[in-house]
Amino acid sequence: MTSEKILIVDDETDILELISLYLMKEGFEVVTCQEGDQVLDMLAQHQPDLLILDVLLPGMDGIEVCRSIRKISHIPILFISCKSDDLDVILGLGVGGDDYIPKPFSPSQLVARVKAHLRRHSMIEPNQTQPDVLIFDGLEIHLSSHSVIVQQEEVNLSSKEFDLLVLLASHPKKVFKIDQLYEEIWGSDSLGDTRTLMVHISNLRKKIETDPANPVYIITIRGVGYKFNA
């Protein structure tokens, strides 16, 4: 049985109870919250391993909650929302969310995503066979400190953006299929929804490329996937 703790934030009592029931059946410890203004205090008090966060909340909404959390923590954040437009997905992932599942969703699918994120998060350790710093023209990736330097200035990447960059940069010229990248970084099947990956690629390009519309490092292989150009 797992001892990992999940904080669920949603203003709908029925949703809280449903998700809690499924997670507790899998052995997770669950704490809940219904207002965005309370989340930071809940994080400090309960020290959860993962956060399930609704976008639409009374008081501080989920987007602002995520922004605040990312200033102090790299905890995996899984957004859930009845808003499933591409712009909403882009906004949620752009402020540091790790994944986005639109309502209505299958509770078993949500549990599977939670397990995958926790498993992937626990596996992130320095690779002893890999150098601690990956150096390219105008780009440095420092593995142990999780920092990235672009043109001698440090840029702030989310945990998933950093993992994605490390994976691609560790295999220069190798073409990764979209589903393959999703499985490697998120630890689960994409279930046909590739928006999460594509948003992270877009955000990553905005942070490390001089001209994101004409990328130098992360190249799209049309109809296949992506590769890192060293």
Torsion sign across C-alpha atoms 47, 54, 20, 160? negative
Q: Residue 70 corresponds to which amino acid?
A: R
Domain boundary among 83, 105, 123: 123
11/105 same-domain check: yes
The pLDDT score that the predictor gives to residue 190 is 60
The answer to whether position 93 is within a domain reads: yes
Give the span between the Cα atoms of 90 and 84, in whole angstroms: 10
Give the span between the Cα atoms of 146 and 141, in whole angstroms: 8
Q: Are 166 and 133 in contact (CB under 8 A)?
A: no
162/181 same-domain check: yes
- The range of the structural domain enclosing residue 217 comes to 133-228
| Residue bearing tokens 């437009």 | 85
Q: How far is CA 19 from the centre of its chain?
A: 20
81/9 same-domain check: yes
Which of the four pLDDT bands, split at 50, 70 and 90, describes residue 68? very high
Task: Summarize the confidence of residues 105-114 as an average pLDDT.
Answer: 90
Residue 8, pLDDT above cutoff 70: yes
The pLDDT score that the predictor gives to residue 5 is 96
The pLDDT score that the predictor gives to residue 93 is 87
Phi/psi of residue 176, each to 5°?
-105, 130
- What would the two tokens of residue 103 be? 């309502």
User: In the chain, what is the straight-line distance between the N-terminal and C-terminal CA atoms, in Å?
Assistant: 44
The pLDDT score that the predictor gives to residue 126 is 46
**For the chain, what percentages of helix, strand and coil (3-state, to nearest 5) are there?**
40, 20, 40
**DSSP secondary structure code for residue 37 in this structure:** G
Q: Are 88 and 55 in contact (CB under 8 A)?
A: yes
Q: Are 52 and 26 in contact (CB under 8 A)?
A: no
Which of the four pLDDT bands, split at 50, 70 and 90, describes residue 124? low
The answer to whether position 128 is within a domain reads: no
204/138 same-domain check: yes
